[in-house]
A and B are shown apart, each in its own frame.
Chain A
Amino acid sequence: MKPFTTLTAVAAPLPMANVDTDKIIPARFLKTIERSGLGVHLFDTLRYDADGKERPGFVLNQEPYRHAQILIAHENFGCGSSREHAPWALLDFGIRCVIAPDFADIFHNNCFKNGILPVRLPRAVIDQLMEDAKLGANSRITIDLAAQEVVRPNGERIHFDIDPFRKKLLLEGLDDIGQTMEHAASIDAYEAKVRRERSFIPGIEVRA
């Protein structure tokens, strides 16, 4: 996983609440066995008309937002399915950070697994950042993960909270599985204990 340290980039304003995972990437594009290549379908129905032509009114079809690495949205971003194709599509498009008042749980979790930083900030702050983002190329926003700050184009620094464990994994680009493997002895011990105490639970076997 690519570490996340600091990022200075164009931010795309997406002033919508309840942006669901079907909106981020419709189910018909989940038939892939790869992680990459989904960026072209990000926000497919908002981005393209029925003939597959770009809708000029949609923010990611406009300059400079075609190159946005930050997305700013309203409440409950990423609600709906557990599909990790949603963060994969964002990442493949180039988005490394989503800023919103709050996120749906599974999407929030999935972001961290892919080196995307989800930042929660109060709606009043989001409203300011949304205005900043609308100014385009000369209005870049900076994210400093180590300092836990969003820096507005006018230099104002805004603090955000983040789980310390997740922050560390992001900063160092660490693989979760590797972290957990360090606890292998505890997992072995737990399994041995459960085999004794809950021996009534059978294993799964599919017989023909």
Chain B
Amino acid sequence: MAKTLFDKVWDAHVVERLQDGTCVLYIDRHLVHEVTSPQAFEGLRMAGRRVRRPDATIAVVDHNVPTTDRKSGIKEADSRLQVETLERNVAAFGVPYIPLLDERQGIVHIIGPELGASLPGMTIVCGDSHTSTHGALGSLAFGIGTSEVEHVLATQTLLQKPAKNMKVAVEGTLPFGVTAKDIVLAIIGRIGTAGGTGHVIEYTGSAIRALDMAGRMTVCNMSIEGGARAGMIAPDETTFEYVRGRPMAPRGEALERAIAWWKTLPSDPGAHYDKVVEIDAATIAPMVTWGTSPEAVAPITGVVPDPSEIADEAKRAQVERMLEYMALRPGQKLAEVPVDMVFIGSCTNGRIEDMRAAAEVARGRRVAPGVRALVVPGSGIVKRQAEEEGLDRVLTEAGFEWREPGCSMCLGMNPDKLTPGQRCASTSNRNFEGRQGPGGRTHLLSPAMAAAAAVMGRLADVRELAR
């Protein structure tokens, strides 16, 4: 029977199929960070269990860490406790760990692919919903809760039922100024935040094939914002080229054997999908969210919607609440909304390609008066590469702040937060109420659009700044 990419990776990892269809699913890679693991290690300790496969596990600190000078340690006591607890746990259980001051430290979803720890055809989990990022390599990667973190540490498996298959096909050529972030925001705008619930999305089509790995990761990263458990893209030459030479990836003859297997993974012709969505790439514009759900999104050329034009009462009330929280008027032009803060970074857009896109817009310009703009590279390796390319200079000369790697203002668990009422153009993934700090207002957009907002002091169409 014709199988999808998801079916093939799933089937290759079924240890045992139980009577009711629940599977014992083997996990190839387990990424661990400081926020969702302390209670899992504590559970192991209480039950006298060990970590079954330390050599399939890698730990790093990212959510809590400061993005300014780190030599003096972490000032916030509760953040420091979580980091120290992880350090104690990895030492006690023999788990490979990248310390805070190591150059390879960074956001867990940036460093997995970057180090070659995440590879095509694998099952990859992490106690973080944006684990879907790694699906860009053609792996099945999804977020789990802390009980499941403990379950994987103890057994290297999960008890799961297979998800349904959903295909999102993006065909055609992206217009000038439109990026991977705009593709995924457009998709979420179309399917809604629950559009993918119960499904794994496979992204296909010529516009997806044409993306580099960074762009593919941005798309897969936000699958969870469309409700999907995971996002996947079939591995191809772009994938193999990306993997080649990464420190934890196979090399030489082993890599050739791996590629031979990976080439068998793309979906078979005629494979069945439970849901199919088709999008014409040519119709996508640079996107920006106006509400407190990622589905509340519109082209930058558009306006804030008018709730009075919404027939469904519940939906209308929801939009009214969003506009009140966001302090926006119905019919207001999105390109006229002023911003106080700009955040460029996160597991969605913290890779070197994103730094380049931001620097390209910033070059020779200045951050608008009254605006603060933070650029937070996704890892120490991204940071060094950007500095070697001189991007840090371009950005700092334009008035952007150049920071140390971490999750930072994506979720404000470290000191980088919005204050109540502040409005932020952000390359992160969630615009929920209070996500970037209590009372903060978030507009999601691409790195180039974020840089454009910084220099214009308002949400702006990056195409107007084209040189």
Known contacts A32-B78, A113-B145, A198-B261; is A80 also within 8 Å of B430 by CB?
A: yes
- Chain A residues with CB under 8 A of B142: 106
Measured between C-beta atoms, what is the minimum distance from A20 to chain B in Å? 5
Interface size, chain B (Cβ < 8 Å): 84
Partner of B97, one of A45, A194, A202, A206: A206
A159 at the interface (CB under 8 A from B): no
Whether A114 lies near B147 (C-beta < 8 A) is yes
Collect the chain A residues with CB atoms within 8 Å of residue B119's CB. Answer: 201
Tell me the A57-71 residues at the B interface (CB within 8 Å): none
Inter-chain contact A83/B145, CB cutoff 8 Å: yes
Which chain B residue shows the least CB distance to A86? B145
A81/B128 in contact, CB under 8 A: yes
Q: Which residues of B contact A198 (CB under 8 A)?
A: 258, 261
Q: Mark A120-147, 1 if CB is under 8 A from B, else 0.
A: 0000000000000000000000000000
B145's partner among A18, A110, A179, A183 (CB-CB below 8 A) is A110
> How near does chain B come to A19, taking the closest CB pair, in angstroms?
10
Q: Are A183 and B24 in contact (CB under 8 A)?
A: yes
**A204 with B58: in contact, given A33-B42, A50-B439, A105-B198 (CB under 8 Å)?**
yes
Whether the pair A105, B39 counts as a contact (CB closer than 8 A) is: no
Given A177-B49, A206-B97, check contact A106 B413 (CB 8 Å). Answer: no
Known contacts being A80-B129, A187-B157, A206-B98, is A50 close to B420, with CB within 8 Å? yes
B42→A102 contact, CB < 8 A = no
CB-contact partner of A180 in B58, B155, B255, under 8 A: B155
Interface residues of B in 203-242 (CB under 8 A from A): 224, 227, 229
Q: Assess the A22–B433 pair: CB atoms within 8 A.
A: yes
Roughly how many angstroms separate A75 CA and B413 CA in the complex, as a whole number? Answer: 28
With both beta carbons as reference points, the residue of chain B lying nearest to A179 in the complex is identified as: B159
Q: In the complex, which of the residues B131, B155, B249, B258 has the most CB atoms of chain A within 10 Å of its own CB atom? A: B155
Interface flags for A20-35 (1: CB within 8 Å of B; 0: not) read: 1011001110111111
A74 to B312, CA, bound (A): 14
User: How many residues from A make CB contacts under 8 Å with B?
Assistant: 57
Q: Please give, as numbers and ranges, the residues of chain B lying within 8 Å of A202 by CB-CB distance.
A: 248-250, 254
Q: Which of B26, B28, B42, B248 contacts A187 (CB 8 A)?
A: B26
Judge whether B96 and A204 touch: CB under 8 Å: yes
A156 within 8 A of B: no
Contact A76 B194 (CB under 8 A): yes
Instruction: Give A164's nearest chain B residue, CB to CB.
Output: B20
A74 CA / B315 CA spacing, docked (Å): 11
Q: What's the Cα separation between A177 and B258 when bound, in Å?
A: 32
B98, closest chain A residue (CB): A206
What is the CA–CA distance of A123 and B310 in the complex, to the nearest angstrom?
A: 20
Q: Chain B nearest CB: distance from A162 CB in Å?
A: 12
Could you give, for residues 405-433 of chain B, a 1 whenever the CB lies within 8 Å of some chain A CB and a 0 otherwise? 00000011100000010000000001011
B148 to nearest A CB, angstroms? 7
Q: Write the chain B residue with the least CB distance to A198.
A: B261
Interface residues of A in 63-112 (CB under 8 A from B): 74-76, 79-84, 87, 102, 104-106, 109-110
Chain B residues contacting A27 (CB-CB under 8 Å) are: 411-413, 435
CB of B370 to closest CB in A, whole Å: 23
Tell me if B57 is interfacial: C-beta within 8 Å of chain A.
yes
Q: Are A200 and B24 in contact (CB under 8 A)?
A: no
- Shortest A171–chain B CB gap in Å is 15
User: Which one, A33, A79, A109, A187, contacts B85 given CB within 8 A?
Assistant: A33
Chain B, range 63-121, C-beta contacts under 8 Å to A: 63-64, 76, 78-79, 81-82, 85, 96-98, 104, 117, 119
* Closest chain A CB from B158 CB (angstroms): 8
Query: Are the CB atoms of A201 and B55 closer together than 8 Å?
Result: no
Per-position binary interface string of chain A over residues 186-202, scored 1 when its CB falls under 8 Å from any chain B CB and 0 otherwise? 11001100100011111
Residues of B within 8 A of A205 (CB): 55, 96, 248
B284 at the interface (CB under 8 A from A): no
**Alpha-carbon gap, A198 to B47, bound state (A):** 32
Complexed CA–CA distance, A165 and B22 (Å):
8
B55-A102 in contact (CB<8A): no
User: Is the pair A84, B147 in contact by a Cβ cutoff of 8 Å?
Assistant: yes
Name the CB-closest residue of B to A46. Answer: B433
Is the CB of A161 closer than 8 A to any CB of chain B? Answer: no
B419-460 residues with Cβ-Cβ distance < 8 A to A are 420, 430, 432-435, 438-439
A-B contact pairs, 25 of them (CB 8 A): A27-B413, A28-B438, A31-B78, A31-B82, A33-B42, A45-B433, A50-B438, A82-B127, A87-B145, A104-B227, A106-B143, A106-B229, A109-B144, A163-B20, A165-B20, A176-B147, A177-B150, A177-B155, A183-B157, A186-B16, A191-B26, A200-B254, A201-B250, A202-B254, A206-B104
- A residues neighboring B (CB under 8 Å): 17-18, 20, 22-23, 26-28, 30-35, 45, 50, 74-76, 79-84, 87, 102, 104-106, 109-110, 113-114, 163-165, 176-177, 179-181, 183, 186-187, 190-191, 194, 198-206
Which are the 4 A-B pairs with shortest beta-carbon distances?
Answer: A203-B55, A113-B147, A84-B145, A82-B143
11 further A-B pairs in the complex, CB-CB below 8 A; given A22-B434, A33-B38, A200-B257: A18-B194, A20-B293, A22-B430, A45-B434, A79-B193, A81-B430, A84-B147, A102-B194, A106-B144, A183-B16, A183-B157
